[in-house]
Amino acid sequence: MEQPAIQTDLAILGGGPAGYVAAVEASRLGAGVTLIEEREIGGTCLNRGCIPTKALLKTADMAYALKKAKEFGFELTAAVPLRWENVQSRKERIVRNLRMGLEHLLAQRNVRILRGTGKILGAREISVRNGETETVVSCRKMLIATGSLPALPDLPGISLPNVLTSDEALNLEEVPESVLIMGAGAIGLEFATIFKAAGARVTVVEVRENILPREDGEITSELFKIMKRQGISFKLSARVREIRERDGELEVVVEEKDKETSLKTKMVLVAVGRKLRTDAPDMAALGVKMENGAIRVDDKMETSIKGVYAAGDVVGGKLLAHLAFAEGRVAARNALGLESKLDYLTVPSCVYTYPEVAFVGLSEGDCRAKGIQFEVGRFDYRINGMALCMGERDGFARIIIDRDSHTILGAQILGAGATEMISEMTLAVAQGVRAEMLADMIHPHPTLSEILMEACGDTLSRAIHKV
């Protein structure tokens, strides 16, 4: 059954981070907005990614705190049981409350939400099908924000029961006795943290020689040591060749140093990356230019077709929700005639392991590749007063500055609170702040943020508490 066509200023295909932020921004600027979503508002981030994993990681954080209870004066006379069903219900409650709040926000902003599967008919039309009902949306401008899906490698046994992606792993009714995780990127390491804290035996298999292979080597090397001390096993420079079902378990064939070994596990989690949702026939028919499977956009987030914009995972690069927020906002502004651009150098990356990791700006490798003369300052958590009070001794911060101007170029933090503290360094990189400013700025004492102050001071060889 065909419904009357809807006329709108901006049609947005996809209600995830890029799409819904663009909808809110465009509505704020006075545009009529129609948001098309086939699943839940909030997309992967809210429903199957950022939020549910962080809810589970808080449980992991509590588990690690209980292990250190004796240090803080508590004598636990028995093991504290973990009720996984309560963990899951808490996670679902958080997701549900945030989703309801987001739907209310969009309604208050007068954003029309169309539920159903969108199909692009042309640069100014999208068909939306929900069951037997089809609605055509005619628009002045269009934003494609269809996101991504978990990637599945072409591998024998990949479709066996108990071979899961992150989507399914979030909804397990019980914690498996053992888990083999394919991939040591952010998703793989966060799930390794969750499952290990919940009592599972965890093995991580990574095809490259380092965990978090795209990030700073000193940080990732230290995180690797810490996670091994926590009891997580790693096989680096190794590749899963086949998964078999045998005697009620999974047998995983791993190739390592030209030798094959078999590992038994109850569950395999595939965390080898994500696949961009750009290969639909309607996308090809539209004719937007692609590059390595991603929609190519200019610095205004406009595609090769005038009036059609794209934002979020579909444009490639770092698949981060906060980057998608920013891209959606920039796309909405430009679609409505404003001038807006995004500085990708100031996009922080965060990994919510225990301890956390956060990065922003240039790394040492980036500086060398660009021919930039630089200095590095470092300060360890173990000599910070608040870190010791918190029982969080592991970790350090590194600050990279331009050797001549002392401008802060980048920062890497490994340790408690890293994902919160990185915002100070993001502001510094975005505004071209010199190291002297943060080294001399009064930070409250005692706080973890003093680590950044001291690391900035160390770039100038004048950290206060470093010998």
User: Active-site residues: which are they?
Assistant: 445
Residue 55 to residue 95: CA distance in whole angstroms: 9
The position carrying tokens 């069903």 is: 85
Q: Under DSSP, is residue 437 helix (H, G, I), strand (E, B) or coil?
A: helix
Residue 139 to residue 370: CA distance in whole angstroms: 43
* Rg of the chain on CA atoms, in Å: 24
Under 8 Å CB-to-CB from 81, ≥6 apart: which residues?
A: none
What is the rounded (10 degree) CA torsion for 336, 339, 340, 345? Answer: 150
How many Å separate Cα 265 from the centre of its chain?
A: 27
Residue 34 to residue 26: CA distance in whole angstroms: 10
Give, to the nearest 10 degrees, the angle between helix 217-229 and helix 186-197: 20
Using CB atoms within 10 A of its CB, is residue 244 exposed (0-12), middle (13-18) or buried (19+)?
middle
Task: Please report how many Cα atoms fall inside a 13 Å half-sphere around the Cα of residue 371, on the Cβ side.
Answer: 0
Residue 45 to residue 94: CA distance in whole angstroms: 13
The identity of residue 133, as a single letter, is T
DSSP secondary structure code for residue 175 in this structure: -
Annotate 34-99 with DSSP letters as a single string.
Answer: EEEESS-TTHHHHHHSHHHHHHHHHHHHHHHHHHTGGGGT----SPPPP-HHHHHHHHHHHHHHHH
DSSP secondary structure code for residue 313 in this structure: G
Using CB atoms within 10 A of its CB, is residue 163 exposed (0-12), middle (13-18) or buried (19+)?
buried
Residue 196 to residue 178: CA distance in whole angstroms: 9
How many Å separate Cα 283 from the centre of its chain?
A: 25
Residue 325 to residue 24: CA distance in whole angstroms: 11
